[in-house]
Amino acid sequence: QVQLVESGGGLVQPGGSLRLTCVASGSIFSFFTMGWYRQTPGKERELVAFINNDGSTNYRSSVKGRCTISRDNPKNTVYLQMNSLKPEDTAVYYCYYYTTTQGQYWGQGTQVTVSS
């Protein structure tokens, strides 16, 4: 089993920055993908970004250029650096871990609020 713990959310002013952290523990395989979803009440969950084992990344168009996802393999940790934040970035952000053998696991979520 895999456990994921997110941190780094909070209240930030428009134009500000936050760095989200997700630490995976448990039965971690050698090759895995991790990433971030976000969800606002009443709206569909949407993929923000993910990073593969080889370090290749993908971003949704609305955050590309403002967000950077990275990973620290020895620590089984991924980061989401978010800059130039906008009110529409407000959401609960959920980390995920995925392998074909284990399937997908989610963290508990961390709240990001962008407001003046």
Give 61-82 pLDDT, tens digit per residue: 999 999 999 999 899 999 999 9
d(CA 63, CA 80): 11
For 65-84, b/e burial (b = at least 16 CB within 10 A) is eebbbebeeeebbbbbebee
> CA nearest 36: which of 94, 92, 103?
94
Looking at residue 86, what is its pLDDT? Answer: 97
The dihedral of CA 4, 114, 81, 47: what is its sign? positive
Looking at residue 21, what is its pLDDT? Answer: 98
